[in-house]
Amino acid sequence: MCDCLVALPALSSSGKTLFAKNSDRPRHENQIIRWNPSRRDREDIHATYIPVAPHAQHTLACVLSLPEWCWGAEHGVNEAGVAIGNETIYTIDDPRTAPDALIGMDLVRLGLERAATAYEAVQVLSELMTTYGQGGSGHDTRGDAPRRPYWSSFLIADPTDAWVVETSGRVVESMQVTTTWAISNRTTIPTFDATYRHPKQPVHLLVDPRLNASRSVLAQSPVNVGDLQTHLSSHVGGDNGWTVCMHAESNGEVVEQTTASMIAELDTNESLVWWAQGSPCVTPYQQARFSELSQRLDAVAR
């Protein structure tokens, strides 16, 4: 479960694109924030489950928030000012039948490493899914943990542009954002939703209250960072902890919660990033400019 929002410059109080995401994961999973420097791959790289051919150029440096067991990332920002976040979605196609391939988190990282604009990231993700397919558990399967495969949607933004990408296996549909947009754990592109929405997914109970809360925040333009921090820290949107800052319960026990949050003010020259590695209702956001992040994150890692 996750929630992701974007406001383009005309609807932002700073006049710059604002991107925000809460990453909701299993309660005991550790999610880390990592500086990912530029590199030149000469051989295949190994994503979470499969090898991927190297990029023809140097990759872009980026900041990644990722579960410690996973090669891919839940969300991040690169040096060109591109931000990407992904969401679990379910469709009429069953992800349990797909062989291991790329998972949504792999695609987030690959898009950030290989794309200098939001539109380039749309192309990168589409080409990778066409070439390699999508499949595999998005949760740690070490030990006796069960596989939990799913399809992904993505919100992709840069300093002037934003796109939504929704998928079902190798099927990919994209839509350009004109002002603001929010995604959650359901299909939101109207044409894609009409064709691929899973008929039995209880989106009206577990998803739509959070999605509607995000849309309400974006409707109160101009949107500012304080609005987004308050929203991502809020317990609105559903019963039994299925809220924007998530503490979802099953049989009286928290099973899913927000384990990381990020807000970015995107700028080609110098993006500004706020992040919390934990539930933002109790974890203060840290702030740094992109050029400072390598030193800050290296210090955190030590």
**From CA 170, how far away is CA 34, in angstroms rounded?**
29
Q: Which residue has the tokens 């991040």?
A: 76
From the candidates 2, 4, 62, 281, give the one annotated as an active-site residue: 2
Pseudo-torsion of CA 113, 260, 50, 197, nearest 10°? -100
108, 74 contact by CB (below 8 A): yes
Tell which residue, 75, 82, 83, has the closest CA to residue 117.
Answer: 82
SS3 per-residue string spanning 188-216: CCHHHHHHHECCCCCHHHHCHHHHHHHHH
Q: How many CB atoms lie within 10 A of CB 190?
A: 9
Q: Give the C-alpha separation, 291 to 293, whole Å.
A: 6
| Exposed/middle/buried for residue 201 (C-beta within 10 Å: 0-12, 13-18, 19+) | middle
Give 99's DSSP letter.
P
Asked if residues 5 and 27 have their Cβ atoms less than 8 Å apart, the reply is: no
Q: Could you give the CA distance from residue 251 to residue 296 in angstroms, rounded to a whole number?
A: 40
Instruction: Classify burial at 44, counting beta carbons within 10 Å of its beta carbon; exposed 0-12, middle 13-18, buried 19 or more.
Output: exposed
Is there a catalytic annotation at residue 2? yes
- Which amino acids are annotated catalytic? 2
